[in-house]
Amino acid sequence: MRQHICTCLLCGGQNHLSFEEPYPQFGQQLVRFCRHCGKDTPQTMTMTRKIAAELRKKKAEEDLKQSIVSYCQKYGFTCRFLYESVIITTPVSSWQFPYHAPRKTLRHESTVKINFATGDYAKTHEQFSNRKMTCEEVIDYIAAHDEWRQREAEKHVAEESKTDPA
């Protein structure tokens, strides 16, 4: 349950109201009992410091996500957000890292599905751990890795055609 101070749109008076889930959003019109009017009236949540802080936090989160989406688009990568992580998919690979923490651990989806040392199922491996990097630097790293992989693949093709007797 949450308590909110709400302003009556008829009389302008304030009411302390309780809400159950789903909780109302700031700006939403709510029909509740106004103690000044003595009846149900349309009301809106009053801006308080707590609500202002919540809105700022929500805005900062949206801005951060949008900046990652835009930076991925620059390279033609797609991304999706899962809990505290972002999953980035490039034409040749998939990656995951926590996007809030200043120190990032980057996981790379392995093409080899088994860890040879342990015999365990190895879906991902760590590319690096707990490294202080911005999200942009991590995405640059992914792009550089893709480029390297692309060059390696081309080198391989070139070597094969060299040894091809035909």
- How many angstroms separate the CA atoms of 60 and 77, rounded? 22
- If the CB atoms of residues 32 and 149 are measured against Zn ion, the closer one turns out to be 32
Give the nearest residue (CB) to Zn ion: 8
Residue matched to tokens 């040749």: 92
User: How many C-beta neighbours within 10 Å does residue 38 have?
Assistant: 9
C-beta closer to Zn ion: residue 14 or 67: 14
Q: What is the 3-state secondary structure (H, E, C) of 52-98?
A: HHHHHHHHHHHHHHHHHHHHHHHHCCEEEEECCEEEEECCCCEEEEE
**CB count in 10 Å sphere of residue 78:** 12
Least distance to Zn ion, CB of residue 47, Å: 18
Comparison of 32 and 108: residue with beta carbon closer to Zn ion:
32
In angstroms, what is the minimal distance from the CB of 8 to Zn ion?
3
Report in angstroms how near the CB of residue 40 gets to Zn ion at its nearest. 10
Specify the residue, 35 or 80, whose C-beta has the smaller distance to Zn ion. Answer: 35
Residues in contact with Zn ion by the rule CB under 5 A: 8, 10-11, 13, 34, 36-37, 41
Q: How far is the CB of 35 from Zn ion (least distance, A)?
A: 8
Cβ distance 67 to 79 under 8 Å? no
